[in-house]
Amino acid sequence: MNPQEHELTYPWAETPAPGTIITLRPGVHWLRMRLPFALDHINLWLLDDEIEVDGSLRRGWTVIDCGITSDETKAAWEKLFDTAFEGRPLLRLIATHFHPDHLGLAHWLTRGGERERWRVRLWMSAAEYAFGRFLSAGTNETAGEDAAAHFRRHGLSDPEALAKVRARGSGYYPKLVPAVPRSFHRISDGDEIAIGRAGSRRIFRAIVGYGHSPEHVSLYCAEDKLLVSGDMVLPRISTNVSVFDVEPEGNPLPRYLRSLDHYLMLPADTLVLPSHGKPFIGLHRRVAQQHAHHQARLEEVYAACATPKSAAEIVPVLFNRELDLHQTTFALGESLAHLHALWYEGRLARIDDGGVWRFTQA
C-alpha cells in the first residue's frame, strides 16, 4: 500500500456497489465490479455518447473496460442495462489492455449481454488485442510447463507451487476471457476519440504506456482535465511490472518509468480515474511517488545481491508478507523486473548456478 497516500486528494469518499453508478461529471459515470483476487475490484467507466449509425445520430453509451467473465459480473451488467443505461444501447467498448479484468467480458458486452441487445465494436491497441486473442484461444499446450520452467529457472523450487503453475497451464486466461471479439477498431498513441453528444463532445487523446502490458491505452480529456489511467497510475498500490516466460529476458521497468513521465505533461490537478482504488487528484505527486518507490526497491535489490540471489530469493526482500500462488507469480515476476533493470544497467551480473539464474553485484 502507498504510505504517502495522504498526499493525494479523494473527491469521493464512497464507492459504487456492483450494478450501481456514481456520477463524476455530467455524462461521466463510475461503476465497479468485484474480482476473485486479493485485489478485489475493478473500476469501469460509463460515458454518455452519440455516434452516427446508418446516416443518423444514435444516442447511447461508451464503456471503458469490462470486468472478468463470471456469473456475478454478468448479473451486475444486466442490472445496469435495465437501470443506468436508461433504455439506450452500448455504442462502443474501449479496453485499456488485455488483462482479464479489463477484457474478460468484451465478447459478451459487444453482443449486448444475455439478450444480445446490440452488436458493437471493441476499441483497443493492436498489441493488446493480439495478446488477448492469442491467450484466449488457449492453444499453447505447453504453457503450464513453460511457465513452471521459467519460475524454476529463477529459483522457485517448491514442488507444490510448481505443480499448481503447471496445472494452471493455458486454461487460466480462457477461463476469465473465454473469447475475444473477432474484429476490433485500432487505437494508437495520440489518437483523438470524440465521446459525447453533438455539441458537447469530449475529445479524449490516447496515451500509450509500456511496462505493465504491451501497449496500454490511457485516455485524457484536456477540456475537463480528466485522465482514465487504467493500470498505469494507481493511487494505493504500485502497478505490477513483471518479467514472465513469454519474454524471459525482458526489461519492462525502465519502459514503465519512462511512460510515467508522459503524465507529467498533464496538469497537476487532473482528475485521475484509475482501474483500482478511488478517483483522485495528485497526478504529479503520484508519479513522483512511483519513481521514488522503484528507485528505493532497486537499491534494496542491489544491496541484497552482495551475495548471489535468484529472483525467488528477492521476493521476500520486496514483499514482506505471506503470498498465495497468484500473488507469488506476480511477486516473482516483479522481483525479476528489478533484477533485470540492474542487470541491463550493468550494476548486476547474471550467473548460471546449476540451472538457476542468480544475480550478483558486478
Q: Which domains does the chain have, with CATH numbers?
A: 5-306 (3.60.15.10)
pLDDT confidence of residue 279: 99
Sign of the Cα pseudo-torsion (150, 103, 259, 131, in order) = positive
CA atoms within 13 A on the CB side of 283: 22
DSSP string computed for 127-144: HHHHHHHHHHHT--TTHH
β-bridge partners, 272:
227, 280
Q: Specify the higher pLDDT residue, 125 or 3.
A: 125
Chain centroid to CA 20: 22
Q: Measuring CA to CA, how many Å separate 354 from each of 210, 239, 247, 357, 362?
A: 33, 33, 22, 8, 20
- pLDDT tens figures, 70-87: 999 999 999 999 999 999
Q: Taking residues 52-71, what's their average pLDDT?
A: 94
Q: Are 235 and 8 in contact (CB under 8 A)?
A: yes
CA distance 110 to 306: 53
Q: Are 254 and 23 in contact (CB under 8 A)?
A: no
> Residue 194: is its pLDDT beyond 90?
yes
Q: Measuring CA to CA, how many Å separate 25 from each of 92, 136, 148?
A: 20, 35, 46
For residue 20, give the amino acid letter.
T
pLDDT confidence of residue 167: 87
Cell of 232: 498505469
> Residue 262: is its pLDDT beyond 80?
yes
The model's confidence at residue 113, banded by pLDDT at 50, 70 and 90, is very high
Mean pLDDT check: name the lowest of 43-47, 51-55, 188-192, 248-252: 51-55
- Rounded to the nearest integer, the mean pLDDT of the chain is 96
CA atoms within 13 A on the CB side of 247: 14
Cα of first residue to Cα of last residue in the chain, in angstroms, is 32
- pLDDT tens figures, 310-341: 999 999 999 988 888 888 899 999 999 999 99
The model's confidence at residue 288, banded by pLDDT at 50, 70 and 90, is very high
The model's confidence at residue 250, banded by pLDDT at 50, 70 and 90, is very high
The model's confidence at residue 171, banded by pLDDT at 50, 70 and 90, is confident
Mean pLDDT check: name the lowest of 51-60, 61-70, 201-210, 275-284: 51-60
User: For the purposes of burial, counting CB atoms within 10 Å of the CB of 102, is it exposed (0-12), middle (13-18) or buried (19 or more)?
Assistant: buried
> Residue 346: is its pLDDT beyond 90?
yes
Q: Measuring CA to CA, how many Å separate 118 from each of 73, 115, 197?
A: 19, 9, 20
Longest dimension (CA), the chain: 69
Mean pLDDT check: name the lowest of 47-51, 186-190, 311-315, 319-323: 319-323
pLDDT confidence of residue 27: 97
The model's confidence at residue 170, banded by pLDDT at 50, 70 and 90, is confident
Q: Are 332 and 311 in contact (CB under 8 A)?
A: yes
Chain centroid to CA 136: 16
Cα-flanking dihedrals φ and ψ of residue 274, to 5°?
-90, 165
The closest of 297, 280, 292, 294 to 234, measured between CA atoms, is 280
- Angle formed by the axes of helices 311-318 and 283-304, nearest 10°: 130
CA distance 252 to 174: 25
Sign of the Cα pseudo-torsion (302, 248, 102, 216, in order) = positive
